[in-house]
Structure 1
Amino acid sequence: MQQANDRHPAPRDRYPDALRAMALLVVVFGHWLATLPRLDEGLMVATDHLLVVWEGAGVLTWVVQVVPLFVFVSAAVSADGVRRRLSDGHRQLHWWASRALALARPTVTYLAVLGAVVLLSRVTGGRFLEPLNHSLTIHLWFLLMLLGVQALLPLSVRADRRWGLGAVAALVAIAALVDMLRARPGSPADLLRLGELVTDHATVLGWLNLLVIWLLPQQLGIAWRQGRFSGTGTGLVLIALGLVWLGATVSSGYPLAMVDGEVGGRSNLLPPTLALMGVMWLQVGTVLAFESPARRLLARRPVSRLVTILGALGMPLYLWHKFAELPAAWLGEKLGAPIDAGLPGEAGFWWGRLVWLLLCALMVTPVMAAVVAFEMRRRQDVVSATGTRAILAGGAALFAGILVSMALGAVPGAIIGLGGLAAASWLLRAHPQPRLASG
């Protein structure tokens, strides 16, 4: 029976692939929707963020903040492979190096192209980089977070093996304790405004939740893979929990939005707070509640094929979708399109948003075609490094390069960060050793 299984491996489970593809598409369209170009005499001079000009848009982030879903599914898919490697610490590090290299190489290409555009704009006097400067690199934070939690995936697998759902409960308790210590409530009545107190106190301790809360969907994904919870009923309970959780946390003073915000201040993301957990419960509950109908739909060949294509294009699309805002802004100007639609509530605002989304979707198409053509010509059989020092140095260079790019924006972050990413790509790659001549 085992030999037959080896000759005829089980077909790939498309449900996790579909979930990851959907999550990335939601993020892409959410980012485009949040970018508000500002025009003066028909020329783009600045951009606003939707959450800055319309506080009520924060409720939309309950849907578009799907990073927890991506972490949840990625952990579920990777858990079995990591579990097989637990007896060999070196192989675990090698596994992470291959993941880091797979993200570093396309990011090098992205920053190289962006850096070339920066230099070209200095020669030609291009106007579009300045209003979109930080928008072109800030989305790279997702790569940092993903690689950070994946580096701890072996620990999460061990925690699931030893404590099961108790590991999930422990993370929730630690995150709650961090927020309580951050809030420093003086009386039971202060618990009713816990969120206000938490986000009014910027403490170093609060950044512990940057690790704890992002580890939670990873721990949940492993538990789901192990069959520790499942079923439509459980999904509906988690959805209800998520709605109650979000309602309670926002009522206590946590911000409505689950993205953006002031670093260390009025933010549910920088650092993460208890409120962000409500989105996780909603998303995990939705995964369970719709699993049966989704699998029936994925059994259809055209749908499965579409998921395969989206899965292959997902990460390149995430890397390059912000870049497409540059040609979209140019085309919008040339066509005289209503991409500057004023403020929410004004006539034509949502029509302008639709036009902007269509322009971005139109212009990302040739960008993706060029990226795919380049990647197909690129050598794909690159092996990751196996030496511990090379992997650690490569990881440090990778994180440093992305952090610089995020902090400084396209100008000059893309050029400076490119050095770190290029070094990471080289360090994380296995380099054949020359053979010594015998005799």
Structure 2
Amino acid sequence: MSSSSRAPSDAASPRDRYPDALRAGALLVVVFGHWLATLPRLEEGLMVATDHLLVVWAGAGALTWVLQVVPLFVFVSAAVSAEGAQRRLSQGDRQLHWWAGRALGLARPTVTYLAVLAALSLLALVTGGRFLGLLNHSLTIHLWFLMMLLGVQALLPLGVWVDNRWGLKAVVALVVIAAGVDLLRAGITAPGQLLTLGERVTASAGGIGWINVAAVWLLPQQLGIAWRRGRFAGAGVGIGLLLLGLGWLAAAVASGYPLAMVDGRVGAPSNLLPPTLALVGVMWLQVGAVLLFESPARRLLARRPIDRLVTLLGALGMPLYLWHKLAELPAAWVGERLGLPIDAGVPGEAGFWLGRLWWLLLCALTVAPVMVAVVSFEVRRKRGLVQAGATPVILAGGAALLGGILLSLALGAMPGALFGLAGVVAASWLLRAHPQPAERLS
């Protein structure tokens, strides 16, 4: 890519808004996608259960080719952070120290979220509230992304070093590893068995497939580093990657991989637990779209109102991601009290999509006061905390953070938020320096 289409690395240069816009757009897709997937079920006007869109409508899996934007987050985050990682490598600075700062920045708002969930869980136990139990796992399932992001960011310097040494060959190597893992997992012994590769992979236990947690999720990070350094660019390459992605996904589904790139229920055939070769097709689609729309998007971002909107969404990104699922609680309560058609049956029935629109509207309306309260709290916090410096302390803090998130994921809001909160609080304390330099807290 020419130098005019990528922001210079000089600290005095204007911030490159295209990656910011990509992350903001992906954030909105995730938020609305999560709300869309939750289907409240009512009996005699009272909410009694929830379904997942993918469970009641298998065809919705095709929507996840667009809604599964986690690879895009990883891709863009790597592009933004690559030069900083290169500087730290060149200067001999400790990457672990930088990672501790990132982990601390995620731990602090997560403490607040889990504390509120824990309080609501205890309140529900005392009052016999129905809604929290019905949405129990829905309120914590999105935290898996934080765990995955921290994991891949810890390996960012390795990705930069590998790119320095091998360039795009590193991308090819990760694809080969992902493919090899799925072939071994499927037990392929003859070429004809490749026609049912996906069926064989997802019918087997995870086993060796868990290696793809690293290979598949590191792939968009490696692509982001390469893109930032101009190793591939242009609308022509973008179209080629889009076509590759469509062909890749078509072949994957034809061989038996699930259509959906997210999970509707635990235990069903999955492209996520562990990640499969099919998920790579979504990455080609997303990176292709980034390249194809880069020039028109940059022209649009040159307009001041758009730039301000991107800045605002960027500032609200983490709070909105953490708290958007909580909006389902008041949305369900309001929908039930007003008798709105938030339970619209199943796809194909009259009113289903109208019911979905009502549900999305209620979630959007109820998340607004939540965000006002959260942002008001966050801006009063001490800013610029200095992260811990000792390696054992950072490792302990990282383990506590990942453990707390994992408990919340596995157990849901009740009792997961209570146990998870303990781990994340410990992480928030361990990952900061003691005492804090006075000048940084002024």
The alignment's TM-score, normalised by the length of structure 1, stands at 0.96
2:53 and 2:383 map into 1 onto residues whose CA distance is 39
* Equivalent residue number for residue 353 of structure 1: 356
Q: How does 1:74-153 map to 2 (within 5 A)?
A: 74-87=77-90, 91-153=94-156
Distance 1:182 1:6, change over 3 A: closer
SS in 2 for 1:228: coil
* Equivalent residue number for residue 394 of structure 1: 397
1:319 and 1:16 map into 2 onto residues whose CA distance is 21
1:89 and 1:432 map into 2 onto residues whose CA distance is 25
Partners of 1:76 and 1:221 within 8 A in 2:
yes
Instruction: Pick one of 167, 178, 187 that aligns with 1:164.
Output: 167
1:264 and 1:342 map into 2 onto residues whose CA distance is 24
2:118 and 2:183 map into 1 onto residues whose CA distance is 43
* Equivalent residue number for residue 189 of structure 1: 192
Partners of 1:183 and 1:198 within 8 A in 2:
yes
* Equivalent residue number for residue 28 of structure 1: 31
Confirm or deny that 1:238 pairs with 2:241.
Answer: yes
Write the letter of the residue equivalent to 2:105: A
Distance 1:182 1:376, change over 3 A: same
Instruction: Pick one of 22, 34, 37 that aligns with 1:19.
Output: 22
1:58 and 1:122 map into 2 onto residues whose CA distance is 36
2:269 and 2:9 map into 1 onto residues whose CA distance is 54
The answer for unaligned runs of 5 or more in structure 1 is 435-439
1:7 and 1:165 map into 2 onto residues whose CA distance is 25
Partners of 1:201 and 1:265 within 8 A in 2:
no
Write the letter of the residue equivalent to 2:151: G
* Equivalent residue number for residue 408 of structure 1: 411
The alignment's TM-score, normalised by the length of structure 2, stands at 0.95
SS in 2 for 1:39: strand
SS in 1 for 2:325: coil
CA RMSD, Structure 1 to Structure 2 (Å)? 1.7
Deviations 1:139-189 (A, max 9, x none): 000000000000000000000000000000000000000000001123221
Deviations 1:194-213 (A, max 9, x none): 10011111132000001110
2:355 and 2:76 map into 1 onto residues whose CA distance is 34
Q: How does 1:36-435 map to 2 (within 5 A)?
A: 36-87=39-90, 91-260=94-263, 266-432=269-435
Write the letter of the residue equivalent to 2:206: T
SS in 2 for 1:213: helix
Write the letter of the residue equivalent to 1:326: L
Partners of 1:199 and 1:264 within 8 A in 2:
no
Partners of 1:262 and 1:270 within 8 A in 2:
no
Distance 1:36 1:16, change over 3 A: same
Q: Which runs of 4+ in 1 moved over 3 A?
A: 5-8, 87-90, 261-265
Deviations 1:344-369 (A, max 9, x none): 11110000000000000000000000
Partners of 2:27 and 2:317 within 8 A in 1:
yes
Write the letter of the residue equivalent to 1:331: V
Aligned-pair distance for 1:381? 1.9
2:329 and 2:68 map into 1 onto residues whose CA distance is 24
Percent sequence identity is 76
Aligned-pair distance for 1:84? 0.6
The size of the alignment, in residue pairs, is: 431
The answer for unaligned runs of 5 or more in structure 2 is 1-7, 438-442
